[in-house]
Amino acid sequence: MNSSIIKFAVVGMGHIGKRHAEMIRRHPQARLVAMCDIVPAQQAGIADADVPWFNSIEALLVSDLEVDVVNICTPNGLHARQAILALEARKHVVIEKPMALTKADAEAVIFKALQMSRQVFAVMQNRYSPPSAWLKQLIAEGVLGDIYMVQLNCYWNRDDRYYKPGNWHGTAQLDGGTLFTQFSHFIDTLYWLFGDITNIKAAFGDFAHRHSTDFEDSGTVMFDFVNGGMGCINYSTAVWDKNLESSISIVAERGSVKVAGQYMNDVVYCHVKDYDMPVLAPVNPPNDYGAYKGSAANHHYVIENVVDTLHHRTAISTNALEGLKVVDIIERIYSLKPNPT
């Protein structure tokens, strides 16, 4: 980039879009130059008259505003199309999870980025948490030896306070499914740590959300890792009242490890041959949406990574191909539904 200030526009001003905007404002080498949503600024709860507001991404992209990066924070089903529009306008893009709802759409985004020589940043904020970074180091350095078995548990509360009538959450077209909206960053953690999966078997249930969503609220998935070892994912949004836990348990050749807590924020077990557990940095608090909670608030790391990458100081934390692989894995899991949506 020629200028030391990276100019950002945020498209989609819901909870996460507001979070992106705030993190951009806080970064000394970033500037928020535009916001965009289909509803008026006042209705979206935005009072900043000093930042231009647009009601469509098309209007934003044809304006004479100078924009370096477009952050896509809209409903899942819009991510790929809007990212391609921004790339065609020669903007770098940050795409909130998931990158797309199909592998084909994710591939189209990557193709356009290569064609336009622009960067695509896929948001997978779990990678920035100290326990996740520690697990990555353990595995990368071979401390655990061969991986035997991995269990990922995601038990969250998403009730009628979240799935409100008339909202995009819960729709097949814009939401895509529980694994896409709620747990894709945990699928990313699995892929980041252990690589791709194969020999997938799955069962799905819809217990508490038959009246409010087009898809399952619970599932059990079993698979083998391409790199060796086996794994399973147990997930549900039918937990009553509040989140129960997100956890990952690893049984390996030279020891066992478990990271747990509501947001996979505590190392609760570490027994590894000839290894002393280091003191980890504290985990950031979760994103707080009022009645429900999300994962740890790590979006400032995302903006920092964008700025540093565009200034050629570092590499992308989660690149587009990794974003595509998460979509591919979820799509393969969902292909096992009796009536895929």
Percent of the chain whose pLDDT exceeds 70: 94
Query: Is residue 219 over pLDDT 70?
Result: yes
Name the β-bridge partners of 54: 36
Which pLDDT belongs to residue 50?
86
The reported pLDDT for the residue numbered 341 is 47
pLDDT at 140 > cutoff 60 = yes
pLDDT of residue 73: 98
Please state, in angstroms and rounded to a whole number, the distance separating the CA atoms of residues 100 and 83: 10
Mean pLDDT of 71-97: 98
Query: Strands 69-72 and 286-288: what pairing?
Result: unpaired
Please tell me the pTM assigned to this model. 0.94
Q: What is the mean pLDDT of residues 151-170?
A: 96
How confident is the model at residue 290, as a pLDDT?
A: 61
- CB of 188 closer than 8 Å to CB of 126: yes
Secondary structure (DSSP) of 129-146: SHHHHHHHHHHHTTTT-S
CATH architecture of 127-295: 2-Layer Sandwich (3.30)
**What local confidence, expressed as pLDDT, does residue 287 receive?**
60
Give the whole-angstrom CA distance, residue 166 versus residue 188: 29
Which ranges in the chain are annotated with CATH 3.40.50.720? 6-122+301-311
| Residue 28, strand partner residues | none
Largest Cα separation within the chain, whole Å, is 61
Q: Looking at residue 264, what is its pLDDT?
A: 86
pLDDT at 49 over 90: no
Region 142-149: mean pLDDT is 98
Report which residue type is found at 252.
Answer: A
- pLDDT top residue among 340 and 272: 272
Q: Where are the beta strands (DSSP E) in the chain?
A: 6-11, 30-36, 53-54, 69-72, 92-95, 120-122, 147-155, 197-205, 218-225, 230-236, 245-252, 255-260, 266-272, 286-288, 293-296
Q: Write the pLDDT tens digit of every residue in 106-118.
A: 999 999 999 999 9
Helix (H, G, I), strand (E, B) or coil at 251: strand
pLDDT at 3: 58
Region 180-209 average pLDDT: 97
pLDDT on residue 2 = 47
Residues of the chain with CATH 3.30.360.10: 127-295
What's the mean pLDDT when you consider all of the chain?
A: 94
What CATH code would you report for 6-122+301-311?
3.40.50.720
Structural tokens at position 43? 């209705």
Which is more confident, 292 or 207?
A: 207
% of the chain surpassing 90 pLDDT: 86
